[in-house]
Structure 1
Amino acid sequence: MVDFHEDPVPGSGRRAARADFVSDAPRLPLNGRWRFRLSDTAGGTGPSLPDPALDDTDWDDIRVPSHWVLEGYDRPLYTNTAYPFPIDPPYLPDDNATGDYRLRFDLPSGWPGGRTVLRFQGVDSCGTVWLNGELLGHSKGSRLPFEFDVTGVVRPAGNLLAVRVQRWSSGSYLEDQDMWWLPGIFRDVELLSRPVDGIDDFTVRASYRDGSGTLSVTADVPGTVEIPELGLVFGTGERVTIDRVEPWSAERPRLYRGTLSAAGETIELAAGFRTVEIIGGRLLINGVPVLFRGVNRHEHDPDRGRSLDRDTMIRDIELMKRHNVNAVRTAHYPPHPEFLRLCDEYGLWVVDECDIETHGFIYAGWEGNPPGEPMWRDALLDRARRMVERDKNHPSVVVWSLGNESGAGAAFGDIERYIRHRDPTRPLHYERDPSYRHSDFHSLMYPSLDDLERIGQRKEDPPEGVLPESDDDVRRRGLPFLLCEYAHAMGNGPGSLADYQAILESYERFCGAFVWEWIDHGLAEVDSLGRRYYRHGGDIGYQPNGERFCLDGLLFPDRTPSPGLGELRKAIEPVGIAVDGGFVVVTNKYDVLSLGHLAFRWRAEVDGVLEDEGTLTVPDCPARSVVRVPLPALDHGFEGEVWLTVEAVLAEAARWAPAGHVVAFGQARSGSGAHRRPARAPGRAVFSADGRLVRLGDLELDGPVFDVWRAPTENDRGQGPRNALAADWEAVGLDRFLHRRGEIERPDGDTIVVRGRSGPATRTLGFRTTYTYRRRDDGLHLLIEADPVGDWDDTAYGHLTVSPPRMGVRFALPGGYSEVTWFGRGPGESYADSHAAARVGRYTAAIDALQTPYLVPQENGNHVETRWLELSGQGLPTLRVDGEPHLDFTARRWTSEALRAARRPHDLTDSGRVWLNLDHAQQGIGSASCGPALPERYRLPVRRYTWSMTLSV
């Protein structure tokens, strides 16, 4: 039996790549239950696999499409950059799990004569196919379709389809994307009738210029195009111009539906008129600049891996649109074709990326990297050809990406020349070649804010290996800039989204950015207690693995939005709303739309309580323009802290959201009035012998304990030595402070002063603390002073200078507290560099609901700019804390130490107490898990701190 899996050729016996389309020709889906057997080596079950006479009654059944490692066979593997096999191209180890599939099927009655085609939409990684014992051929390129002509081989009844799928093949060297390795027949399998004189392939070109459109359709056989709405009937090969036509855009995805007909077949057409150009260093679509507000999207489902159904695709798109995302980079391979059809219909700009990544060759110093080796040329070019031919007719696809993180090499020149010849209507993107000779964009991953600013000004340093003022350097500076990956959404974060967006909107050079990434790649599992959880790479007993690095999305695996997605929604909202003097300033940030599809409403709140509301009449405001609207008349007799909130909402239902859906909002404080504080009896304060507050009125509590540490986030753990904040904290002992009480003074009957020192064993560094309590009419006032002492520039660790992630105190409260009400930012968590989505208001939440269940437990649930908070619980006095003026707070049923120790959310158990942190500040979140270091302005320098609060019950 022929074995193709180690041959670097891309395939054999296949039909030429062609467009994916919907036709009225008969189609037989072959999805369903197939016979299956897994073997340890590439030879599978042996040469008898395709024999129709083979008795497979004792074989297992498996679902197709699926990944066998998610159906109870073998195990999924996750690596980030490393290959999970030796770098020995094109060879693979003998241990190479191989799935043999068999399906018996009959043709439906009336299946027409003519040609019949067998199509596979996706097989990972190498599929060899037989029908009725006859070898059809094989294919590699896991995320791309392939077809065989089975005319004369398929029978009316009693067909036996056999497929052998190796986990590893030569194609795996080209598929080292940051994701799970998931083998199997994971996309649809179908049999297609191809009528005599039917259309096998066609190309739609629908361009737009100054209100008019030009349409042509070429096909491999003569046919007729009809677009009833435009009154068009014309032949293939003709070029027609329509004087007045609406263009297609992500904001207004206008499709003109029609048909392409030939003898015996009618194909559905959906023409979207749009022109993509780069002029003067700017990306223009339909003659106007666009700004991608994008995400990188892997195909992922926690139960089905990359085998997604249409409903899941729609759910993704609706979530994107509802969170103001307007663009998708299909990282790092073409998606299922149905996803692109949906992007056409719902409206998303798409950067369609080729199924090429050779990142693992970094461990070989890039020696033998396939794009630079002639033996891989055909395989690489084949992948580009199959992407372009399949997806060429989608108006949503506006950029072709040649691949990802594959270094440089001559093959990219071949790919560039092919695509430019085949489709000159779209620009090309490739980020990793420092010369950018094959890209129409300058592009980078994870620049710092300062570096991004320089790029916007076209003042960036040349890439390594490129000489200043060389031809490559000069050309690159003239290119538009596309930020293909930024804001690594791993765990709690990413931070600085609003900062990045402000820069992206400030310079004409930028055409947008794509957050890494859309969804956490957790795989569902059930533990011995029946609890569902999500596995990451570190849960698989295999080396190497990428540990938790697959958990880096804006959605949790079950598609619940993370706080990070809410922050992105605010940062990229297409309408800016601000207050300037007596006016509401409305900035239209859409590229195409005026604001006529939105309604505006306002409300005035005093200390978080609604006092007045109404609608705001906003005049017509074209794209990228500004209008000023007089502020609504407010009763200025309000006493308290007055906030005006203005929302832009959908005036009518859209396909992706109901009427009233909030698209954007702005808030502004009116006047300078302070929030009102209720008069409260202070209650008797009782202190322990070492100066801790143990009773306030009828409330037993314990604290405050000086606290400078937090359970590290994934971004605190960072990537590389410059971003290893958590490791630095532990190196100097910030996670293990010990506390010593000093003097206790009672200068008068209403005041007590408690002095102390806090610091780690073996170190000199720490803080001297002073707690000054004063009994006042509104409660017990607490002033906290913290002065750094000792050696914070630690010479023992190479002059390691650290800053504390938190400056605060912690109280232990009775476990019966169940609810928190507060006035400040909310309702979700917020941090110094991630609070744009958190509105100022009054909120109430259960303590348990304040926790964000990140898949890897870490710091969460903080709330910045809190004016006051009240904790309540059955049978307990309500504890109120007033900030002076503000505090950060977190409240949870476990300590930060327990949070760090937990491996999964269900490891966190009720300690019997509520732990309340009341902080002067907490450092920002950043995105250093894969990105730049946390900006200095979001850190807490080592200096003297003072803050105060009032406690009452």
Structure 2
Amino acid sequence: MVDCPVEFHEDPAPGSGRRAARADFVSDAPRLSLNGRWRFRLSGTAEGTGPALPDPELDDSSWETIRVPSHWVLEGHDRPLYTNTAYPFPIDPPYVPDDNPTGDYRLRFDLPSGWPGGDRCVLRFQGVDSCGTVWLNGELLGHSKGSRLPFEFDVSGLVRPEGNLLAVRVHRWSSGSYLEDQDMWWLPGIFREVELLARPQGGIDDFTVHASYAGGAGSLLVTADVPGLVEIPELGLSAPTGERVEIDRVDPWSAEHPRLYRGTLSAAGERVDLAIGFRTVAVSGGRLLVNGVPVLFRGVNRHEHDPERGRSLDRETMIRDIELMKRHNVNAVRTAHYPPHPEFLRLCDEYGLWVVDECDIETHGFIYAGWAGNPPGEPMWQEALLDRARRMVERDKNHPSVVIWSLGNESGAGAAFAGIEDWIRRRDPSRPLHYERDPSYRHSDFYSLMYPSLADLERIGQRKEDPPEGVAPDSADDARRRGLPFLLCEYAHAMGNGPGSLADYQAILESSERFCGGFVWEWIDHGLAGRDSLGRTYYRHGGDIDAQPNGERYCLDGLLFPDRTPSPGLGELRAAFQPVGIAVEEGSVVITNKHDAMDLGHLTFRWFVEVDGVRTDGARVDGARVDGAGVDGAWVDGGRVDGGTLAVPRCRARESVRVPLPEVAVAAEGETWITIEAVLTGGTRWAPAGHVVATGQARLGTA
């Protein structure tokens, strides 16, 4: 039996005993889910139940059971805490309070019949908050911090066919907590999946996909830690790893057209599924370009949240988020403020969303210490900070949806960011970097701010902004920043009656090629479900928990209510973000294509007339071309219809076309309005045919 080293949780080191970070992928190698009911006991201090935790002879029959994955504070143990910027404990890095709720977990499991006996085995945790120490069959494997990042242990030779005991000690507070002050609920526990992976002889541990696009052609290079064969049947491609292949004609991947080419990477002992998107990201001429064209993010900041399960989300919830985003004209996600579950990125690849993948780093609470001791500026934290960036990049490097790496959020400045920047640029030069809080922007490919005024944003578009505090006018840093594209990483705070001025912000963001768009704060209210005395559900904010400090209602600032019901603000966002402009001018309808690269061939433009809000027959057939039946499918007497479709010629991205306005008889009394809608001609993964993408209206007259 190995004693539990209590000091692990206060050591700034990011972990011990772990395998090297690697890509997340799906293969044909056997895997065993260890999710389910585990034995659980919560203690008030870091000692937990003591050194006997990993002892197979320990009698845990009186312990409670808990669902894994989950947060214990949402399973009836202890309480959740919400803070916006303040740490919920005194700032004394790397130390945390002696009163440190600690969950001890134990699971007994057998291997399924047919499990390959001679293979290596790897134990993987997808997410543990905030520090987990792990034993298998009495042997200490090591520990890990970095709550929203996976970690693995090689358990070859330790796993038995029957009677395995997996023990995990999870500390609510650890040195890692100082790096995770991210305006959210503090929710401890094993909250993502746990699984045992068979690693066959000749299997693939890690691989990297390099898939670029230029001028209609694709270039593909797949490297791996073992020799393998890359096959993409649709392209007739079969090539060994390490060999670059040029393909004369491919469709590029983009959020508008998420074209994936399915294939496999096969080695002697394993076959891995590939989903390859050809695309090239570059910052050039002060603009963000993807596949050679400027891109405008119509984005949201997304915390992972469910009112019942916290940050332990299932695939169905992720799909619901993405479908709601796409249906409301959102095309981009900033993963505020940590890497999401890897399944979310697979779905972004498939559905089409640009992703700014953000490192699990925020030290905002050091503002209350005047930034004294802030980890990015302290040598003892350098490895822990770099470890988080390394694990993010290695895990997510093969996703075409990930177009920008973000170094973290609201963590001040410090030498650690230079080290992170250097490592990422060497490891992955194909993606630009973002970091907002360092006023020099030396480690970022973007100038970035939160919550600028409309006037300030206009000046930024003209590259006439005042330099940030601490940056001298006309200095090298000032000049470099003015040459950068601008990314609005947070704006239009959606709390209470917000978000406000969405249309005004969007008009400015569309006015200058310096802008690559922005991300509204934020996607969903972080309300946690509670039950009143009558059993009715209500949603709790930080102030509903008897604890200090707390961020009170500041967690209720989303475009969705906690149960994912769209708020009125989301409807406003949909209108502001619509990728097609529709305006009536002097007897014409002006259609403006605001897509980055796609024409409007996937849309049908239909129109109808209302008088005082009631649909009516309002157009003469001989006054305009009407294709097909009216909106309601009804022809009426007198040669008039209640609506129809507009014949819109081909309209390329960033261009406009004019079509005749249907001749509409104005009602003798009341207000007559024409509404023109751009709707999906065919169904997509995220919406059926007929879904309204954009709307324009004009008042035609009054009596």
- 2:289 aligned to which of 271, 275, 284: 284
- Give the direction of change, closer, same or farther, for the CA distance of 1:212–1:638 in structure 2 (3 Å limit): farther
- Aligned 8 A contact 2:71 2:309 in 1: yes
Q: Deviations over 1:773-824 (max 9, x none)?
A: xxxxxxxxxxxxxxxxxxxxxxxxxxxxxxxxxxxxxxxxxxxxxxxxxxxx
Are 2:496 and 1:491 aligned? Answer: yes
- 1:614 aligned to which of 644, 660, 669: 644
Structure-2 residue corresponding to 1:545: 550
What does 1:412-491 align with in structure 2 at a 5 Å threshold?
Answer: 412-491=417-496
Q: Work out the CA distance in 2 between the residues paired with 1:296 and 1:61.
A: 35
Q: Deviations over 1:680-712 (max 9, x none)?
A: xxxxxxxxxxxxxxxxxxxxxxxxxxxxxxxxx
Q: Work out the CA distance in 2 between the residues paired with 1:55 and 1:109.
A: 27
Structure-2 residue corresponding to 1:325: 330
Aligned residues: 673
What does 1:806-885 align with in structure 2 at a 5 Å threshold?
Answer: none
Are 2:553 and 1:523 aligned? Answer: no
Structure-1 residue corresponding to 2:106: 102
Structure-1 residue corresponding to 2:625: none
Q: Work out the CA distance in 1 between the residues paired with 2:590 and 2:356.
A: 33
Q: CA deviation at 1:641?
A: 1.3
Structure-1 residue corresponding to 2:164: 159
Give the letter aligned to residue 6 of structure 1. E
What does 1:617-628 align with in structure 2 at a 5 Å threshold?
Answer: 617-628=647-658
Are 2:125 and 1:125 aligned? Answer: no
Query: Matched residue of 1:97: which SS?
Result: strand
Are 2:181 and 1:176 aligned? Answer: yes
Q: CA deviation at 1:285?
A: 0.1
Query: Matched residue of 2:675: which SS?
Result: strand
Structure-1 residue corresponding to 2:621: none
Q: CA deviation at 1:530?
A: 1.6
Structure-1 residue corresponding to 2:207: 202
- Aligned 8 A contact 2:338 2:358 in 1: yes
What does 1:395-414 align with in structure 2 at a 5 Å threshold?
Answer: 395-414=400-419
Q: Work out the CA distance in 1 between the residues paired with 2:597 and 2:319.
A: 24
Query: Matched residue of 1:96: which SS?
Result: strand
Q: Work out the CA distance in 2 between the residues paired with 1:290 and 1:622.
A: 15
Length-normalised TM-score, structure 2 = 0.95
- 2:50 aligned to which of 46, 51, 54: 46
Q: CA deviation at 1:640?
A: 2.9
Q: Work out the CA distance in 2 between the residues paired with 1:262 and 1:525.
A: 51
Which consecutive residues of structure 1, in runs of 5 or more, have no partner in the other structure?
675-953
- Aligned 8 A contact 2:611 2:667 in 1: no
- 2:95 aligned to which of 91, 95, 106: 91
Q: Work out the CA distance in 2 between the residues paired with 1:180 and 1:282.
A: 36
- 1:79 aligned to which of 83, 87, 97: 83
Q: Work out the CA distance in 2 between the residues paired with 1:286 and 1:515.
A: 25
Structure-1 residue corresponding to 2:254: 249
Q: Work out the CA distance in 1 between the residues paired with 2:469 and 2:245.
A: 48
Q: Deviations over 1:355-393 (max 9, x none)?
A: 000000000000000000000000000000000000000
Q: CA deviation at 1:327?
A: 0.1
Q: Which has the larger radius of gyration?
A: 1
Are 2:695 and 1:665 aligned? Answer: yes
Q: Work out the CA distance in 2 between the residues paired with 1:581 and 1:603.
A: 18
Q: Work out the CA distance in 2 between the residues paired with 1:142 and 1:260.
A: 30
Query: Matched residue of 1:5: which SS?
Result: helix
Give the letter aligned to residue 419 of structure 2. D
CA RMSD of aligned residues (A): 0.7
Structure-1 residue corresponding to 2:635: none
Are 2:649 and 1:645 aligned? Answer: no
Give the letter aligned to residue 408 of structure 1. A
Q: Work out the CA distance in 2 between the residues paired with 1:322 and 1:135.
A: 48
Structure-2 residue corresponding to 1:37: 41
- 2:20 aligned to which of 16, 22, 25: 16
Larger RCO (CA within 8 A; separation ≥ 6): 2
Q: Work out the CA distance in 2 between the residues paired with 1:333 and 1:647.
A: 38
Give the letter aligned to residue 617 of structure 1. A
- Aligned 8 A contact 2:104 2:169 in 1: yes
Q: Deviations over 1:508-543 (max 9, x none)?
A: 100010000000000000011222101100011111
Q: Work out the CA distance in 2 between the residues paired with 1:585 and 1:273.
A: 34
- 2:154 aligned to which of 146, 149, 158: 149
Q: CA deviation at 1:604?
A: 1.2
- Give the direction of change, closer, same or farther, for the CA distance of 1:630–1:414 in structure 2 (3 Å limit): same
- Give the direction of change, closer, same or farther, for the CA distance of 1:591–1:367 in structure 2 (3 Å limit): same
Structure-2 residue corresponding to 1:2: 5
Structure-2 residue corresponding to 1:718: none
- 1:560 aligned to which of 559, 565, 589: 565
Q: Deviations over 1:164-203 (max 9, x none)?
A: 0000000000000000000000000000011101000000
Q: Work out the CA distance in 2 between the residues paired with 1:315 and 1:136.
A: 37
Query: Matched residue of 2:100: which SS?
Result: coil
Are 2:590 and 1:585 aligned? Answer: yes
- Aligned 8 A contact 2:254 2:352 in 1: yes
Q: Deviations over 1:238-272 (max 9, x none)?
A: 00000000000000000000000001210000000
Give the letter aligned to residue 52 of structure 1. P
Q: Work out the CA distance in 1 between the residues paired with 2:407 and 2:575.
A: 31
Give the letter aligned to residue 460 of structure 2. I
Q: Work out the CA distance in 1 between the residues paired with 2:665 and 2:575.
A: 29
Which consecutive residues of structure 2, in runs of 5 or more, have no partner in the other structure?
617-641
Q: CA deviation at 1:636?
A: 4.3
Q: Deviations over 1:550-574 (max 9, x none)?
A: 0010000000000000000000100
Q: Work out the CA distance in 2 between the residues paired with 1:334 and 1:346.
A: 18
- 1:356 aligned to which of 355, 358, 361: 361
Query: Matched residue of 1:218: which SS?
Result: strand
Identical aligned residues as a percent: 84
Structure-2 residue corresponding to 1:797: none
Q: Deviations over 1:8-44 (max 9, x none)?
A: 0000000000000000000100000000000000010
Are 2:298 and 1:293 aligned? Answer: yes
Q: Work out the CA distance in 1 between the residues paired with 2:654 and 2:339.
A: 32
Q: Deviations over 1:864-912 (max 9, x none)?
A: xxxxxxxxxxxxxxxxxxxxxxxxxxxxxxxxxxxxxxxxxxxxxxxxx
Give the letter aligned to residue 50 of structure 1. P
Q: Work out the CA distance in 1 between the residues paired with 2:645 and 2:348.
A: 33
- Aligned 8 A contact 1:606 1:638 in 2: no
Are 2:635 and 1:605 aligned? Answer: no
Give the letter aligned to residue 65 of structure 1. P
